[in-house]
Amino acid sequence: MAGLALYGVIGNPIAHSLSPVMHNAAFKELDLEAYFTAFQVADLKAALTGVRALGIAGLSVTLPHKTEIIPYLDWVDASAQAIAAVNTVVNRQGQLCGYNTDATGALAALQAKVTLAGRRVLVVGAGGAARALVYGLVKAGAQVAIVNRTPVRGLALAEAFAVQYLNFSESKDFEAEILVNTTSLGMTPASDQLAVPEALLVSPRVVMDIVYNPLHTRLLAAAQAKGAQIIDGLEMFIGQGALQFTLWTGQTAPLAVMRQAVLKQLSGT
């Protein structure tokens, strides 16, 4: 297996991740000598020392490390700096370079279904994915408000991008046209959780959940029952993953193959 390039996703927890399924399918399709695995990481600094020492070629970064990782990197792309979150690392001869593909992936999934300019968008959450989404939404001309269970984090994010912060009772009066959940609430194995009170699902015409496992979350089921158009987390997941693949390999990602691999895993077939 000489010359095999090793890639991985780091997070905590990480057992739920389908990134290995998606990226290994892409590597196989293009006949690349590469393998992708998952690393549960609690000590981020030590893990990145290991990445350098072992020559791991690239990383996907997920909760809770997207912001914490930045000080440990050698270089960070301008958009990732503006978002203050990194979800992709490329190891260039020992120099760890950080990027953010979440913003582009999320915006593409939304814009395939709805125009964003001038729309009232309520973003649930204040983590790395929320930062990427708010950054992209503001650039697209949307009117953004943030709601978060921890007010301090929500207020900090709202201030960083000069948007509104609302508590859950206030957010009903915002009358969002689009609602996006960026939290992990409703993700397997806790798929019975609802990311927002059902009262918030009265006004949105479009509801998106970035959770992709399960594909049809409790939030999306509740929104659909109230007549909203729903967008599951798969297209964002595939979109951001395709951009990662290109950053790592320099090749165009086989989108259809990646999507099919993830769908097959989710369906258990």
What is the rounded distance in angstroms from the CA atom of residue 81 to the CA atom of residue 99?
8
Tally of CB atoms within 10 A around 110: 25
Which among 18, 12, 36 has a CA at the least distance from the CA of 245? 36
Say how far apart CA 81 and CA 216 lie, in whole Å.
Answer: 32
Rounded CA-CA distance 155/162 in Å is 10
Task: Please tell me which residue in 28, 66, 226, 264 is annotated as part of the active site.
Answer: 66
Catalytic: 66?
A: yes
Q: Tell me the Ramachandran region of residue 139: left when phi exceeds 0, alpha when psi lies from -120 to 50, beta otherwise.
A: alpha
Per the rule left: phi > 0, alpha: psi between -120 and 50, beta: everything else, 233 is alpha
Q: Tokens in use for 268?
A: 């258990």
DSSP letter, residue 27: H
Catalytic residues: 66
